[in-house]
Amino acid sequence: MSTLTSTEISVPDETAPDAVPELVAAAVEAGRVWAATGREDRADVLDAVADALDAAGDELVPLAMAESHLPEGRLRGELTRTTFQLRLFGQALRDGGYLDVRVDHADPDWPMGAPRPDLRRTQVPLGPVVVFAAVNFPFAFSVAGGDTASALAAGCPVLLKAHPGHLRLSVATAEVVRRALAASGAPDDLFTLLVGVEAGRAALTDPGVQAGAFTGSTTGGRTLFDLANGRPVPIPFFGELGSVNPVFVTRAAAEARGPEIAAQAVASFTLGAGQFCTKPGVLLVPEGSSVLEVLRTTDLPGPAPMLSERMVEGHARVRHELEDVPGTEVLVGGPDTADGTPAPTVLLTDVATLLADVEALFRECFGPTLLVATYAAEDDLLSLAQTIDGQLTATVFGEDSDVPHLAGLVTTLATKAGRLLWNAWPTGVSVTDAQQHGGPYPATTAPSTTSVGTAAISRFLRPVAFQGFPEGLLPAELTDGATLPRRVDGVLLTDTTR
């Protein structure tokens, strides 16, 4: 397979907004066929898409490198993650537990005072989903990323609004996906690529679209969220918007592992030029800590290219605004390059200053900047945790001796973040069954859901109960002979209990 360069694929024209209704109508028809396709067959299709993407890696990765400025090793690892999650959703389909099937047989002696009817509950696809691709993960959160994979797994067609930061890659990836779908016998128009802001807005507001998914800025995500909710018939909108991802270091942990924590902090906040939604943005350390002294004397990495000029400008604006807050100073940082590519920077303040102006200081700075805040008493950690808004992650570095004293902090952080970490850094989001990548607003618009892991499929499903129906009219998973995990008359049946 020949390797393509970014110049061999032209930038696509924008999709005309007045063409969107026809594209959505075609997706609706494809969705009817796809929703009726068996779970095993849908899983086989996802596997085929994964295989096709793996086979096209030597074509796709150079395109991604040219458009994103990300290194080859990072992108090849991301492509592996992308195909892995497609196959993982295939496994979830074959297992069937995601349907949360519940069967209650008729019971004339039901103790509520009236007979219980025969009730059987399953989940059905919502319908067409418009997915807004992210810029910072050209594979894993883009054309064939987690939102696309989970929507297709749920039985929903996808209209993918390409991100302008990697349009050529989006065209190439979409072509791989479409060919794999066609070769696998999936219905035509199951997957559609849209280009342009107005086309995305038109799709999100089209009556045929039943859900939206987004990863990006708070401003852009909130605008789309309001559009989805402002429709005559509102639809769910699953937006991942922004996060500071605070890290709380106890005094005992700082004393035991200060230099190690400092080195790891640098590695985490500079990873990928700080362009991770889980990048630690605020680090809390005790006054006089060796963490602070090591950071003050450390040699930070040099400037690394960011995804786009827009990212460079946005980072510079927020970093300068943080620097200008009274009580904040630059602890360590080098000069930016002549073209504005930012040098990693560590800023310093204290918890009192931070608490006095949380809105100005506790904010996402998307790029290689970290704000360190010192505290005098560990009660300050709880005070900050109680003050902050919703986050994707919150991290605690502590020692075993801290455990009896941290219950209040951890309990509070659990109300603020979707994932809590103990002695680990938040960058790096494993794709697993138990993963939770979400959190209270403004981290996401749907805090009870996740965009990573197999539970992401639930976003694009809705429950339906069938009461008193004959078996011939029931979905296969609701019949008495079904073998997938399910709850029958209050008893959970699994492979070991059936």
Please identify every residue annotated as catalytic. 240, 277
Q: CA-CA distance, 416 to 249, in Å (whole number)?
A: 17
Structure tokens at 107: 């019971």
Confirm if 147 and 213 have CB atoms less than 8 A apart: yes
Residue 397, strand partner residues = 249
Confirm if 281 and 245 have CB atoms less than 8 A apart: yes
Confirm if 445 and 241 have CB atoms less than 8 A apart: yes
Q: CA-CA distance, 464 to 488, in Å (whole number)?
A: 16
Q: CA-CA distance, 114 to 480, in Å (whole number)?
A: 24
Question: Closest Cα partner for 14 from 170, 239, 188, 204?
Answer: 170
Question: Closest Cα partner for 102 from 119, 126, 124, 117?
Answer: 119
Strands 158-161 and 211-215: unpaired
Residue 141, strand partner residues = none
Give me the sheet containing 417-422, strands edge to edge: 329-333, 345-350, 369-375, 282-286, 247-249, 391-397, 417-422
